[in-house]
Structure 1
């Protein structure tokens, strides 16, 4: 199994997640979320595949999220507007993201990763 691994390389959580993938011999294609931001169509597909609400894809602890006061603004936005906003800057997107054939993992939760990525 090979997955798409979206990360921000300087992020300590992403570094730990990458080490985890390598330690568990999970084949992955790495993509820098800042250099190659997810597109709105990609995000729509991943959100649908994940079964999670759009808000779970926002990096709520990020500087940009706080600067833009998104905690107050997002509830008044449509799902499409939220996805379009996420597609404007990779730093708004929660990371790391792992995209598999039939699943999406948002953030690094070791137990969840173990269930989906190891046999």
Structure 2
């Protein structure tokens, strides 16, 4: 099984998730959305599957530096526009696998999904 792994190469959480997958011998195709961008249709699919609240990283520096006007009144469309314009605002990693989508890294969730 090969999974699709989306993230930012230098992100510590992405590094932990990749190391975990490597240790388990799980193959993945890596897409660095900071370098390569994020497909708006794929982003909308993720939003439909897990919700924009799960995907939007409000704790990150990129989001915190936004003007207050951009942080107010966020809905799915506004969140998608923000994440498309600045992929650093997407919580990382996002993993597409045959059973669904995982957002973030937690070894126990990964083990329950892949092992």
Give TM-score scaled by structure 1 length: 0.85
Within the candidate set 84, 87, 92, 2:84 is matched to 87
Can you give the 5+ residue segments of structure 1 that lack an aligned partner in the other structure?
none
SS at match of 2:57: coil
Distance in 2 between the 1:36 and 1:67 partners? 22
Deviation per CA, 1:35-85, whole angstroms, max 9, x where unpaired?
122222101112223xx2201101222111000156x725x1331221122
What is the Cα-based RMSD across aligned positions, in Å?
A: 1.9
- CA distance in 2 between partners of 1:69 and 1:18 (Å): 33
- After TM superposition, the structure 1 stretch with the greater mean CA deviation from structure 2, 7-16 or 25-34, is 7-16
Structure 2: runs of 5+ lacking an equivalent? none
Corresponding pairs, count: 115
Equivalent residues of 2:47, 2:76 under 8 A apart: no
Q: Conserved in 2, the CA contact under 8 Å of 1:46 and 1:99?
A: no
Q: Counterpart in 2 of 1:41?
A: 41
Per-residue deviation, 1:105 = 0.6
How far did 1:6 drift? 1.1
Task: Name the structure with the higher helix share.
Answer: 2
Contact between 1:36 and 1:90, CA under 8 Å: does it hold in 2? no
Asked if 1:105 corresponds to 2:105, the answer is no
Scaled by the length of structure 2, the TM-score of the pair is: 0.88
Q: Which runs of 4+ in 1 moved over 6 A?
A: none
